[in-house]
Amino acid sequence: MKKISSFGIIAFKESSQIKNVLLRIRNWSERNSVPVFFHPFVNNQIGPDARVSSSENEFLQNSDAIVSVGGDGTFLSVAHICRFTEKPIIGVNLGGLGFLTDISPDEIESTLDKIQSGQFSTISRMVLEAVLYRENEQLCKFHALNDVFINRINTPKLTSISVWYGNDFITDFYADGIIVATPNGSTAYSLSAGGPIVEPNVKAFLLTPICPHSLTERPIILPSDKNIRLVINEKNPDLLFSADGLESVRLQSGDQIVVSYGGARANLIQLTDVSYFELLRKKLSWGKGWKKI
């Protein structure tokens, strides 16, 4: 495992809590003589003597590992900024549930100590590749750590989306939209739409219709060795296609989206061998309502 000799620090929001964490990281850097580079976004919160990168490229080049300060949304944005280059990322949780950001602010100094001394492992998560075709030409390509989805924008009506798995036609889904998620994203939007929780090491797609018209149209788990193809059937669709809720494009009738797993990965830093089910029990409060007699 490559030694971590420098850290990149990034936060998108401004708050007293975030500023406190950034200042503590800066103080840790000075005490331990470990280079820390701050993303240009944090310039207003960190002070004049900190190493604030002049550009995003410089920030990525100088950082062996990235520390995300915020919630899961910040972590997803950081993964996109890293362009899924497998640069290891760890998150300080200042948000809500924190499935991706599991380090509390109180642990930041000890966390950096452990990573810098090599007391960590990395876990890989599959990344989706989604290509949008319009009139047989590629319009754009997105990547997603959690999910890609199609959802209505303003019009309160059902839409029709045809779905193929490889060469096999699945069905025409009549729903508000549809989600294609990774197992890592099974606890995000897909879960809210009624999808199953899937252990993150499984190489699979989760196909989850959003509020389907038919109650028999249920979420489907599919192996990731074939593509999923989505076709927009509506004549005047008022639909948005999005990757992790960060990159989006409006759709037109006849648009086709091909979702695949091309082998890209995101690496998450892990300090302890915490069971995924222990994480679920903690984050989702499983078993808390049961009182033994």
CA geometry: angle at 41 spanning 58 and 122, to 5°?
A: 65
Neighbouring residues of 263: CB distance < 8 A, sequence distance ≥ 6: none
Structure token digits, residue 76: 């997803």
Phi, psi of 8 (to 5 degrees): -105, 135
Catalytic residue among 64, 72, 106, 172: 72
Contact 104/95 with Cβ under 8 angstroms? no
> Closest Cα partner for 66 from 46, 48, 84?
84
Q: Which helix (H) or strand (E) holds 18?
A: helix 16-32
- 72 is a catalytic site residue: yes
Residue 160 CA, chain-centre distance (Å), reads 27
Q: Considering Cα of 109, then 114, then 118, then 122, what sign does the dihedral take?
A: negative
Q: Which helix (H) or strand (E) holds 99?
A: none
Strand (E) or helix (H) holding 240: strand 239-243
d(CA 129, CA 145): 9
Q: What is the CA radius of gyration of the chain?
A: 21
Token pair of 242 as six digits? 């999005």
Local structure of residue 103 (DSSP, 8 states) = B
Give the CA count within 13 Å in the CB-facing half-sphere of 169: 6
Residues serving a catalytic function are 72
